[in-house]
Amino acid sequence: MNLFMTTGTYDFMKSMRAKHADETMVLMQGENTTLLLHETEGKSLFQTPRRYEVVDGTGTFQEKGFFVFNNIPVTDEGRPIFEHRFKNRAGAIENEPGYVAFRVLRPLDSDTYVVLTEWESPAFFEKWKESQAFSKAHAKPEGAPAEKRPNIFSGASYVTTYKAKPEEA
């Protein structure tokens, strides 16, 4: 599965989604931009997309909630370790109230993975961050002391958020 992202004006992104109504696309609004996601087994419909492969995921995007993009730069050597951690995760997020969907996205054109979650609202995401499941999922790996563990990150991670912008009936 592939996931492509592009940004632009709301009206243009809305018209692109309408033009390709048979495709899985999600329109969302960020603080300063509109983002359109396209999830497909095929090729991108965007001219210059950010391109990703889906490494892991559950749920179906609903274009009704709150999206959290955890952007994590990972070294080339760290990619297998990073992906292994997600492929062997506990899966606790799926049981959290307000959870909608989850994807781990491997970048095809950069070093920055995206861990994308959709929640029914920002309040559900905040509750997840305060949960024991979140603490466990984000605990440091067991084993070798921190100074002996390889640093798999090539930069600081950062979070971006968006709200779905569904059409009013």
The confidence score (pLDDT) of residue 169 equals 37
Residue of 60, 131, 54, 126 whose CA lies nearest to 90: 131
The confidence score (pLDDT) of residue 146 equals 52
Are the CB atoms for 114 and 2 separated by under 8 Å? no
pTM of this structure: 0.89
> In one letter, which amino acid is 84?
H
The confidence score (pLDDT) of residue 89 equals 75
Q: Could you give the C-alpha distances from 151 to 55, 108, 163, in angstroms and in order?
A: 21, 21, 33
Distance separating alpha carbons of residues 57 and 59, to the nearest angstrom? 7
Polymer length in residues for the chain: 169
Q: Which residue has the tokens 């696309």?
A: 25
Q: Is 112 helix (H, G, I), strand (E, B) or coil?
A: strand
The confidence score (pLDDT) of residue 132 equals 81
The confidence score (pLDDT) of residue 168 equals 47
Splitting the chain (169 residues) into consecutive groups of 10 residues, what average pLDDT does each group show? 96 95 94 94 95 95 93 96 84 88 96 97 94 75 56 94 71
**Quick one: DSSP state of residue 167?**
P
Residue of 10, 15, 11 whose CA lies nearest to 28: 10
Q: Which CATH fold would you assign to the domain 2-40+50-164?
A: Alpha-Beta Plaits (3.30.70)
